[in-house]
């Protein structure tokens, strides 16, 4: 009996491989890169959203406005400055009270600095506990210092007010007396409860 052959003869087609068997060499790298790209895009969107919402926060806008309006900061940085990307940001809300801490680099034409802020929000308004600019040369400008002590002119003379009269007590006013001496602890007879 003759050997059995298939109807097509000895030239039967080789069974075709599946899609995965033919394309896995480029599908695996493209799939991995696609997943990494998706993760990167998601992270970039999250950071961008967080940054834009932080920049809209009242503490940030108030701190930047205070620094831009302060003449000492303008003088140290050389006029107007550009605020950079905030770092070391911490914002938390507990029982309706919001606490924010952040550091913002400042890029001025003359020098660079760093704005440091710690603020609390209880209700609608932000209250700063710490707000200062650290200039590159080591100078620290406190933006919460509201007391303007009378300064002396560079040559050592008293500074004059706008009418040309020296500041200080008038002829009829007595010089303020020295503050009372501090009592040493443990030697006073009064007991405070």
Establish if 170 belongs to a structural domain. Answer: no
What does the mean pLDDT of the chain come to? Answer: 75
How many folded domains does the chain comprise?
Answer: 1
Dist. CA 102–CA 115, nearest whole Å: 8
Closest CA to 60 of 123, 113, 109, 128: 128
Q: What is the CATH number of the domain that holds 129?
A: 3.10.450.320
Is the pLDDT assigned to residue 159 strictly greater than 70?
Answer: no
User: Cα–Cα distance between 166 and 169 in angstroms, integer?
Assistant: 9
Task: Express each pLDDT in 85-144 by its tens digit.
Answer: 888 888 888 888 888 899 999 998 888 999 999 999 887 888 899 999 999 888 899 988
The reported pTM is: 0.55
Query: Would you state the structure tokens that stand for residue 53, as one six-digit string?
Result: 């919402």
Residues spanned by the domain of 65: 58-142
Spatial separation of the C-alpha atoms in residues 142 and 150, rounded to whole Å: 17
Q: Which single residue is written with the structure tokens 């970039």?
A: 44
Count, in order, helices (H) and strands (E) of the chain: 3, 6
Q: Is residue 192 part of a domain?
A: no
* pLDDT tens string 28-63: 999 999 999 999 999 988 887 777 777 777 888 888
């Amino acid at each position: 009996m003759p050997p059995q052959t298939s109807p097509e003869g000895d030239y039967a087609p080789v069974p075709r491989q599946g899609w995965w068997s033919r394309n896995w060499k480029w599908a695996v790298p493209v799939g991995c890169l696609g997943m990494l790209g998706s993760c990167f895009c998601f992270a970039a969107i999250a950071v961008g959203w967080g940054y834009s919402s932080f920049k809209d926060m009242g503490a940030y806008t108030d701190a930047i406005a205070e620094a831009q309006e302060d003449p000492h900061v303008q003088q140290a940085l050389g006029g107007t400055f550009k605020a950079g990307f905030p770092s070391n940001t911490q914002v938390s809300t507990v029982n309706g009270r919001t606490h924010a801490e952040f550091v913002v680099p400042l890029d001025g034409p003359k020098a660079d600095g760093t704005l440091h802020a710690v603020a609390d929000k209880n209700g609608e308004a932000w209250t700063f506990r710490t707000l200062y600019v650290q200039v590159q040369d080591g100078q620290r400008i406190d933006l919460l210092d509201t007391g303007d002590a009378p300064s002396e002119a560079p040559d050592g003379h008293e500074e004059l007010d706008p009418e040309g009269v020296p500041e200080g007590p008038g002829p009829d006013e007595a010089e303020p007396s020295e503050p009372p001496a501090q009592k040493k602890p443990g030697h006073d007879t009064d007991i405070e409860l």
